Structure 1
Amino acid sequence: MSEEKKKKKKAVKKDSQLIIRINGEERDEFVELCNHLDTTAAREIRRFIREFVTASKAE
């Protein structure tokens, strides 16, 4: 990743929360899988949201 992209990503401030309720077993399995893939649950959920919004705009 280029230095410019890294700076751009850091410039986006995370200033809001989204609270969801899910089954504890599903949560634990998801977090464990994320750890195994060397990522975080929050990062993957943010990625899903970005991709979902982008795909919805393309329709």
Structure 2
Amino acid sequence: METGTVADKKKSKKKDLKDSQLIIRIAGADRDRFVALCEELDTSAAREIRRFIRDFLASHEDGS
């Protein structure tokens, strides 16, 4: 039997939300090309960067 309330579940989900930023500097032309390609592929630049970071971490943490 679950004891958590709906409010508790919502608070729990909020903990999983993105709460940090990573600021990078790249050439404007590269950024524009990346964003345009993401749009063509029906995704977002942020989603793809987050995916890259997760994959990068997973590939480097497995062998540690």
Classify the secondary structure of the residue corresponding to 1:14: coil
Equivalent position of 1:25 in the other structure: 29
Separation in 2 of the partners of 1:55 and 1:24?
Answer: 29
Q: TM-score, normalised by structure 1?
A: 0.80
Q: Residue type of the partner of 2:34? A: F
Q: Which is richer in helix?
A: 1
Show the counterpart of 1:46: 50
Instruction: Give the counterpart letter for 1:32 in structure 2.
Output: A
The one-letter amino acid paired with 1:25 is A
Residue identity opposite 1:27 in structure 2: R
> Which residues of structure 2 form unaligned runs of 5+?
1-12
1:8 is aligned to: none
Q: CA RMSD in A?
A: 0.6
Structure with higher Rg: it is 2
TM-superposed deviation, 1:43: 0.2
Report how many aligned residue pairs link the two structures.
49
- The answer for unaligned runs of 5 or more in structure 1 is 1-10
Shift of 1:58: 1.3
Once the two structures are TM-superposed, the CA of residue 31 in structure 1 deviates from its matched residue by: 0.2
Runs of 4+ more than 3 Å apart: none
